[in-house]
């Protein structure tokens, strides 16, 4: 039995198939940890969703920003991106089952000394706090106001976390940190528009994982979201987005021994 953490797939079903063949993945005995962004921009989001859903308990998936965007669009969010490739999912006969499965995925998954999250954790959050906040979002997605939550999710404000936040502002800040953040200040103000490499950090900011004394250093965080960073490994961090949808590679890391497997886009 082995556990493989996989970076952003984004509808690249062919690359996913080749990577699973490369690692000889067996859903009867192995496990996948997928860091989110299953869908969008790539050509076969529908096949990716069906495959991972059908793996059942063999696949642990956390939500990425593109996955949440799909749920927003399905809920009636009208401002569509020019490179949106979600039409196959939205027109599928099993659309509702797939969307329901996706909406039931968490933002944060914790197992032993590892944490799975799409983008990152704010420096002032312990792993336990991040998991509790993830549970708040999961409850909102499963609750009677889920559609209203999704229609109020877009936006970059508030930029900072505060325990006093309530309502949509609170949930939006949790989601933005876990699924969109790359850079932040030492005291946790997010700069969500910045998308470049770490050496292009806006003045006064740094990659979230480089903030001194961040409270999640107790665990190894496995994440994606940052194709300009690429595959990156440092103490307490493994970043897995190697830009498959942009012509790069799709990456898997075997958690037990740290061996890396990659296939070209």
pLDDT value of residue 80: 82
Domain range for 134 is 3-181+217-264
**Three-state secondary-structure class, residue 40:** coil
What is the Cα–Cα distance from 181 to 189, expressed in whole angstroms?
10
27-47 pLDDT, tens digit each: 999 999 999 999 999 999 999
pLDDT higher than threshold 80 for residue 81: no
CATH number at residue 61: 3.60.21.10
90-103 pLDDT, tens digit each: 999 999 999 999 99
193 assigned to some structural domain:
no
Contact 19, 261 (CB under 8 A): yes
207-235 pLDDT, tens digit each: 999 999 999 999 999 999 999 999 999 99
Establish whether the linkage from the previous residue to 158 is cis, with ω within 30° of 0.
Answer: yes
Contact 197, 182 (CB under 8 A): no
pLDDT higher than threshold 80 for residue 53: yes
175 assigned to some structural domain:
yes
What are the strands, taking DSSP E only, across 118-192?
183-184, 190-191
**Residue 68 CB-half CA count within 13 A:** 29
Count of domains forming the chain: 1
pLDDT value of residue 99: 98
23 assigned to some structural domain:
yes
């Amino acid at each position: 039995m082995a556990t493989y953490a996989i970076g952003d797939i984004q509808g690249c079903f062919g690359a996913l198939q080749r990577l699973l063949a490369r690692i000889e993945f067996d859903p009867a005995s192995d496990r996948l940890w997928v860091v989110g962004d299953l869908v969008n921009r790539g050509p076969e989001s529908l096949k990716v969703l069906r495959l991972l859903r059908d793996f059942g308990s063999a696949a642990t998936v956390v939500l990425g920003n593109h996955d949440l965007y799909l749920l927003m669009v399905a809920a009636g969010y009208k401002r569509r991106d020019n490179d949106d490739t979600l039409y196959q999912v939205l027109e599928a006969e099993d659309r509702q089952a797939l969307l329901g499965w996706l909406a039931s995925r968490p933002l944060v998954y914790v197992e032993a000394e590892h944490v799975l999250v799409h983008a990152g954790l704010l420096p002032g959050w312990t792993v336990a706090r991040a998991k509790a906040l993830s549970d708040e979002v999961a409850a909102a997605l499963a609750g009677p106001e889920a559609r209203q939550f999704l229609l109020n999710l877009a936006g970059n404000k508030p930029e900072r976390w505060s325990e006093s936040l309530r309502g949509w502002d609170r949930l939006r800040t949790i989601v933005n940190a876990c699924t969109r953040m790359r850079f932040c200040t030492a005291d946790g103000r997010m700069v969500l528009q910045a998308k470049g490499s770490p050496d292009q950090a806006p003045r006064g900011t740094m990659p979230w994982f480089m903030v001194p004394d961040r409270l999640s250093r107790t665990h190894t965080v496995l994440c994606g979201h940052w194709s300009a960073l690429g595959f990156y490994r440092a103490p307490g961090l493994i970043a897995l987005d190697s830009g498959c949808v942009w012509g790069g590679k799709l990456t898997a890391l075997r958690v037990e021994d740290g061996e890396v497997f990659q296939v070209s886009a």
